[in-house]
Amino acid sequence: MNINIENVTFDQWISIVTQVGAWVTVILILYTLLEMKTQRKLAQKAELIVPNVSILGYSRENGEIFIATYWKNKEAENKDFVVGELPKVTLYNIGAGAAKGITVRWNFEIEKAVKSIKDYCVQNSLPINITSDDGYLFVGLKENITGVDIQADSNFEYPYLLPASVTANGLEVDLPSTILNVISILSFLTTYQSSPPADRGPLPSTQIDFATPYFYLELQYEDIGRNKYKKRFDVTVSAFSPYFADRQSRTSYYDPILYGKFEFKERKWFTNKRLF
């Protein structure tokens, strides 16, 4: 269909301009609505972060073998240790909206580390017992063995976390005792291997390169707009046991026997992933 512009009347021009104006208005309204929706999502979005955390390990024992059994995030000033109390990592919400339905899952692979510990202790006649079996980690000295339910030690749920702009309080989550036990023993053995007691003779000609656990943290949560998210943090653990004693030396009940640090690094390709 060919339209001769010269034959278009004034009334027809008015009609065309009116229709074009109407479409422009519709487009502007749609754009405004989309922009409002985007801003509303940003106002609702929750953003969880995990800062690095330092820990200290203590022990009631003052013999040759020092393995941490009590834990703190700060230096202990008195004997306020509680059996089963664990150091914490604190989650913060730096988003504009609340996070709710928060699931925290610690994931780790400890089998290689457990095997390297067992092999070394057998070769050097150390009375450290550690076994991973049927979902439990068993750890102890001689016959004094305790078990940790790995599944129960690794999964936690929390109802909500308000934005940091509303409250400075974060969400405290226990570090898994499974990892703390393994790291504590590895830290002791690393020190022991480099400087064994005098009555055990010279250093061995070959030393074991202990396997370290593979470890990461996974978070799932949703914002108040019911958008669901999943984040993953790779965890690097460093630990050092400066207190090593032979049979004549002693360490105080208040002296940390382990200094550790947990560092959390987001996997950018994985974090903030919309589940659906």
Report the relative pairing of strands 99-109 and 128-133 from DSSP bridges.
unpaired
Q: Provide the pLDDT for residue 248.
A: 44
Residue 39 has pLDDT above 70, yes or no: no
- Residues 6 or more apart whose CB falls under 8 angstroms from that of 246 comprise 64, 197, 198, 199
| Token pair for 196 | 């064994």
Q: What is the DSSP letter of 97?
A: S
Mean pLDDT value of segment 191-201: 66
Q: Provide the pLDDT for residue 53.
A: 94
| Euclidean distance between CA atoms 86 and 174, whole angstroms | 6
Mean pLDDT value of segment 140-147: 77
B/e letters for 11-42, b = 16+ CB within 10 Å, e = fewer, are eeeeeeeeeeeeeeeeeeeeeeeeeeeeeeee
Mean pLDDT value of segment 148-159: 90
CB-based burial label for 157 (10 Å; 0-12, 13-18, 19+): exposed
HSE at residue 262, side-chain half, CA atoms within 13 A, is: 26
Between these two residues, 215 and 75, which has the higher pLDDT value? 215
Residue 250 has pLDDT above 70, yes or no: no
- Give the pLDDT band (50/70/90) at residue 274: very low
Q: Where are the beta strands (DSSP E) in the chain?
A: 48-49, 53-58, 70-72, 88-93, 99-109, 128-133, 136-141, 144-149, 155-161, 171-174, 214-223, 228-240, 258-266, 273-274
Residue 245 has pLDDT above 50, yes or no: no
Q: Provide the pLDDT for residue 77.
A: 64
Between these two residues, 134 and 41, which has the higher pLDDT value? 134
- Residues 6 or more apart whose CB falls under 8 angstroms from that of 152 comprise none
Q: Provide the pLDDT for residue 253.
A: 52
